[in-house]
């Protein structure tokens, strides 16, 4: 081994560093996640030309906020998730499954920003210039403000960015970038972490907005150490089935806005199209007068979304009943079924139960608890819930229905979508009386709500 180099073991899940291999990581408790890498002690990735002047401490009152105006991408759903646009000098990580549309979305952002007379640099380490142009022709017309570069050497990329000083830089993807001073292979823990560190210093030192594409593992996390997510300013995840047309863009981390907002897109021949009314999309094609099907309202950030919950309860053929949930927390479904058995007297111990959230979404808000309960009861009794009824409310362990936040926005969305009845917690009913034409039915426990099945 060359003089000055040493062998270090890194955890691929959290980035924990150790001088020897261990079966279980002490940091994240993951098994068999350590990989061996040869590292050099010298520090790389320092910005030689981006920040030459010495920085002096300043007070909050001396900071000028006029220069921190957000840059709009003119893609409304993306601007919503980012918190109103891109912040100068920010580092954004975009993750998602292969083929989900990450590169397509970033190329569309390049097109809109270049039309807005912004200088954009698109750096690809996976595709050739011809392949990028083939995708660009499908999306639309581009002008000369967009520059393309196919390069994986981080030193070359850094020199180009410092010379060109673009407004926005796209890196596709971070796993293909490598630093010559790091002896490990591209995509390894050391390379990914060092590459992100160099790009972060470039973004902060030059005020350049940088988007990074990150591959994901089979568990859905960004490949490489979790420290990568801590280094960037914003983490966006693309969700959805690659074989379906709808995509969800969710903000997992955002230093400059809310992490509860989601953006809804539809993949079409000419790229990703915005879906401005997700409720209408999620409810299209739902069965009418079918047992086990109810409509609930979940709030993602500031946006209420109506979505269908389907349940199927059947007698089990084995001694151990089966429970399956798609899009909803499995343990939450088991908990609500236990409440039904104890507080409502339903004999579900000898029944298989399958609960599905239509549309490929994933929801964890407690406000959909009452919808899950009534869908299970509807399927168990084989009686349909009125298709023009909307349901929301949180269910406690004693069978009570608790109030939820933003009840007025939920009812307003239901009235806009043509629903005639809304089953909601009794505690929320008092503040909404006389404000809507829709019939409001307040319930205080699950026994009262079962009267509507």
For Cα atoms 150, 180, 228, give the angle at the middle one, nearest 5 degrees.
75
The answer to whether the annotation marks 133 as part of a ligand binding site is no
Token digits of residue 327: 């899009």
Q: Does 103 appear as a known binding residue? A: yes
Determine whether the annotation assigns residue 96 to a binding site: yes
Other CB atoms within 10 Å distance of the CB of residue 138:
12
Is position 102 annotated in a ligand binding site? yes
98 is in an annotated binding site: yes
Please classify residue 328 by burial: count the beta carbons closer than 10 Å to its beta carbon, then call 0-12 exposed, 13-18 middle and 19+ buried: buried
> Which residues are annotated as part of the binding site?
96-103
> Which residues are annotated as part of the binding site for ATP?
96-103
């Amino acid at each position: 081994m060359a003089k000055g180099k040493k062998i270090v073991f890194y955890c691929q899940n959290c980035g924990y560093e150790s001088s020897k291999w261990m079966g279980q990581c002490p940091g994240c408790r993951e098994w068999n996640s350590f990989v061996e890498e040869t590292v050099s002690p010298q520090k790389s990735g320092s910005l030689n030309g981006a920040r030459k002047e010495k920085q002096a401490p300043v007070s909050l009152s001396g900071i000028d906020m006029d220069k921190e105006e957000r840059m709009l991408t003119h893609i409304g759903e993306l601007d919503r998730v980012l918190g109103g646009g891109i912040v100068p000098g920010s580092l954004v990580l975009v993750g998602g499954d292969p083929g989900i549309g990450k590169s397509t979305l970033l190329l569309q952002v390049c097109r809109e920003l270049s039309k807005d007379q912004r200088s954009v640099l698109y750096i690809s380490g996976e595709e050739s210039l011809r392949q990028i142009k083939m995708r660009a022709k499908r999306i639309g017309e581009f002008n000369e403000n967009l520059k393309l570069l196919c390069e994986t050497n981080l030193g070359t990329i850094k020199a180009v960015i410092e010379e060109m000083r673009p407004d926005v830089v796209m890196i596709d993807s971070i796993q293909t970038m490598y630093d010559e001073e790091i002896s490990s292979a591209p995509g390894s823990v050391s390379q990914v972490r060092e590459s992100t560190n160099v790009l972060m210093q470039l973004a902060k030192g030059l005020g350049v907005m940088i988007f990074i594409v990150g591959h994901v593992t089979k568990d859905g996390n960004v490949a490489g150490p979790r420290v990568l997510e801590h280094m960037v300013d914003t983490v966006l995840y693309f969700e959805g089935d690659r074989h379906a047309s709808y995509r969800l863009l969710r903000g997992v981390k955002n230093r400059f806005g809310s992490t509860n907002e989601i953006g809804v897109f539809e993949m079409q021949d000419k790229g990703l199209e915005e879906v401005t009314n997700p409720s209408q999309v999620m409810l299209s094609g739902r069965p009418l007068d079918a047992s086990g099907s109810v409509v609930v309202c979940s709030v993602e950030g500031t946006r209420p979304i109506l979505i269908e919950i389907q349940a199927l309860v059947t007698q089990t053929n084995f001694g151990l009943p089966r429970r399956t949930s798609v899009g909803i927390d499995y343990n939450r479904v088991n908990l609500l079924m236990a409440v039904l058995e104890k507080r409502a007297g339903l004999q579900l111990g000898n029944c298989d139960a399958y609960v599905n959230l239509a549309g490929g979404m994933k929801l964890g808000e407690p406000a959909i608890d009452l919808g899950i309960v009534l869908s299970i009861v509807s399927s168990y009794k084989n009686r349909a819930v009125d298709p023009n009824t909307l349901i929301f409310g949180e269910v406690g362990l004693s069978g009570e229905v608790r109030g939820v936040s933003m009840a007025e926005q939920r009812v307003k969305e239901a009235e806009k979508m043509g629903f005639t009845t809304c089953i909601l917690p009794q505690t929320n009913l008092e503040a909404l009386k006389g404000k809507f034409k829709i019939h409001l039915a307040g319930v205080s426990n699950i026994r009262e709500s079962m009267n509507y099945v």
